[in-house]
Amino acid sequence: MALIKPVKGIYPKFGNDCYLAENSTIVGDVDMGNQCSIWFNAVVRGDVNSIRMGNKVNVQDGAVIHCTYEKTKVSIGNNVSIGHNALVHGCTIHDNVLIGMGAIVMDNAEIGSNTIIAAGAVVLENTKVPSGVIYAGVPAKKVKDINPELISGEINRIADNYIMYSSWFKE
């Protein structure tokens, strides 16, 4: 059973058909939509501010989602994949986004829809990433526009696969 704890009397809320790995941690002011999954050793820590997640969000192994006390919240749209060991902190991520493995998205950054943040990228504080692009590097910069094949072939495929993977653990 996942570690689920209230903070200051506020319990996490879960939509329908969510999967929480046994050693995942979800605490405080967290509200997630339907068909979300929080994987092994992932931490979703809504202790110092709120975390809102849409539908079909997967937070992969070792990823951390957190905020800054009295300053930044996390807002994650629908159909978002947060890769293994990524750090998402006090930012806004719109719909249909892939945050690559080991990427870091800092406070007050905003990631537009239909976007890929490459593995290992560092999106600096206050960065506004437009919709429909791939950002990579340290600090992250636009490397190219995204084509429709990458939206369906990567962003949607990964989000859909994580719904399938989670079904294996619900049996």
Gap between the Cα atoms of 41 and 25, Å rounded: 7
Q: What tokens does 55 get?
A: 């539908």
Closest residue by Cα to residue 57 from 169, 171, 155: 155
> Does pTM top 0.85 for this prediction?
yes
Closest residue by Cα to residue 69 from 89, 91, 49: 49
Boundaries of every domain in the chain:
3-169
pLDDT in tens, 45-68: 999 999 999 999 999 999 999 999
Gap between the Cα atoms of 145 and 5, Å rounded: 41
Q: What tokens does 158 get?
A: 């990964």
Gap between the Cα atoms of 22 and 37, Å rounded: 12
Q: Position 40: which residue type?
A: F
Cα-trace Rg, the chain: 15
**Res. 102: pLDDT tops 80:** yes
pLDDT interval class at 24 (50, 70, 90): very high
Which CATH architecture is the domain 3-169 placed in? 3 Solenoid (2.160)
